[in-house]
Amino acid sequence: MSSPTITTTDDLAARAAAALDACGVDAALRTTPGGGHAVRTPITGGAIATVDATRLPAPGPAVTHAAEVFATWRATPAPVRGRLVKRLGELLNTHRADLGALVTLEAGKIPSESDGEVQEMIDVCDLAVGLSRQLHGRTMASERPGHRLSETWQPLGPVAVITAFNFPVAVWAWNTALALVCGDPVVWKPSERTPLTALASCALLARAADDVGAPAGLVQVVLGGAETGRALVDDVRIPLVSATGSTAMGRLVAPRVAARFGRTILELGGNNAAVVTPSADLDLAVEAATFAAAGTAGQRCTTLRRLIVHEDVADAVVDGIAARFAQLPIGDPFAQGTLVGPLIDGTSEERVHDAIARSLADGGTLVSGGTRRLQDAAPDAHYLEPALVTMPAQTAVVREETFGPLLTVLRYRDLDEAIALHNDVPQGLSSGIFTRDQAEAERFLSAEGADCGIVNVNAGTSGAEIGGAFGGEKETGGGRECGSDAWKGYMRRMTSTVNYSGRVALAQDVEFGG
């Protein structure tokens, strides 16, 4: 099934302009008679807007302003800082349709996923507003009489946030809502593919700042490629770089920031797997696996890439997923009923085809999918049927992340083998197990089980709630964003001692002097 037509590029450009106007984006940023940064939509492959990047700050001046405004913002009480984020959440709610449309236009997501991403922004604003009154320190018992020993948390400084195309606004909000209540300005480098969502988000934040009397320029957008990213990564005035992208990108970012003793929050590659046991509810497992593998056209960091199925139920699971894949409506994400939109570009399509070819060369079988769709309707776009491959073993290609709709099925005999297969990859982001056996579930959740940062029981690998810290282990980077105590990453810890005894008392009963 597929949509017979694709919305024209002109109509999509008109939608983009209307959404940008509604969010209050300066029209001058989009009028570039002499050229500029062309924004292309994956829906048709055509240009829907042009951004005049010369009207945006360069990395150096942006960091200079962030450092200046930090002096004021860090001295603002945290609950007052929370008012800004509260107002931002209100404006996001008002303009959820506008932002959602821009996400679909730039990233190619179906509207329900785009709307869900905007909802994440609103939810994390709620979380951050609550945190603004709960940035708790602690008081410890001092070993010295007449002394008080405590820890407090202080604002860290300007934060660089580097985001990827697939979640163009949610990941920014995860970082920015927390950074702002913690007292940190933000310099944001969005993906070059998704600058419109960035401009719209920052326009709403600027309006929120004006409404509550917060300083201007607490969040700034810088647009550019690797050179812009390097400028932020290398700037000693930025104590924290939060970067989302490939493991290859992380290998470049981490040592450069560490060389100047800065901090990083890295959200990198995912090669996520789920185990299906003989006791599992197979209908539930198949349904969850279908969305986890095909949602966002497989372009989530939490996409299900590997399904490790017990040999007794493997045939039923493979048949069930193949049937579901065949029924997925593929096409224009704005068309009614579409569930799978386009890949971001041709390179992504080539990557999927290459992974399929290498899998077959390693003895795998292509069960279904992998075929390009809608070439006549959208020759410059890249729509792909989700592919299902069975493999006799976890070869090199299976251990790599394919950022697209490709699901590989492996068989296992016992849970030890399944866990070993699950963990035998360089990445460690999200995982799952489908079982009705409590012992199996607990084993998977134990120290001897899954080695990922996110572990699910009877749920797919994609989709995370903002209340829990998001991130993974190994080559996924080890960073944590959003919920739990992730706010501590945006602050510096201060241990303080107050001596009210009136005499000098050294720790560990040390004596010095006469």
Report the distance separating Cα 469 and Cα 133, nearest Å: 19
Q: In sequence order, what DSSP letters do the residues of 141-189 get, joined into one string?
A: --SSTTEEEEEEEEE---EEEE--SSSTTHHHHHHHHHHHHHT--EEEE
Element (H, E) at 47: strand 47-51
Domain 9-268+477-493, CATH homologous superfamily name and number: Aldehyde Dehydrogenase; Chain A, domain 1 (3.40.605.10)
Query: Per-residue confidence of the chain (514 residues) as pLDDT tens digits?
Result: 444 589 999 999 999 999 999 999 999 998 776 678 999 999 999 999 999 999 999 999 999 999 999 999 999 999 999 999 999 999 999 999 999 999 999 999 999 999 999 999 999 999 999 999 999 999 999 999 999 999 999 999 999 999 999 999 999 999 999 999 999 999 999 999 999 999 999 999 999 999 999 999 999 999 999 999 999 999 999 999 999 999 999 999 999 999 999 999 999 999 999 999 999 999 999 999 999 999 999 999 999 999 999 999 999 999 999 999 999 999 999 999 999 999 999 999 999 999 999 999 999 999 999 999 999 999 999 999 999 999 999 999 999 999 999 999 999 999 999 999 999 999 999 999 999 999 999 999 999 999 999 999 999 999 789 999 999 999 999 999 999 999 999 999 999 999 999 999 989 989 887 5
| Contact yes or no for 426/475 (Cβ under 8 A) | yes
Cα-to-chain-centroid distance, residue 59: 22
Residues of the chain with CATH 3.40.605.10: 9-268+477-493
CA distances, 453 to each of 218, 331, 430, 459 (Å): 31, 33, 6, 15
Of the residues 106, 113, 117, 267, which is catalytic? 267
- Its pTM stands at 0.96
| DSSP classification of residue 2 | B
Of the residues 301, 401, 475, 482, which is catalytic? 301
CATH tag, 272-470: 3.40.309.10
Question: Is residue 23 flagged as an active site residue?
Answer: no
Residues of the chain with CATH 3.40.309.10: 272-470
Question: Is residue 482 flagged as an active site residue?
Answer: no
The side-by-side arrangement of strands in the sheet containing 138-140 is 138-140, 147-155, 491-499
The side-by-side arrangement of strands in the sheet containing 454-457 is 365-368, 387-390, 406-412, 304-310, 272-276, 430-434, 454-457
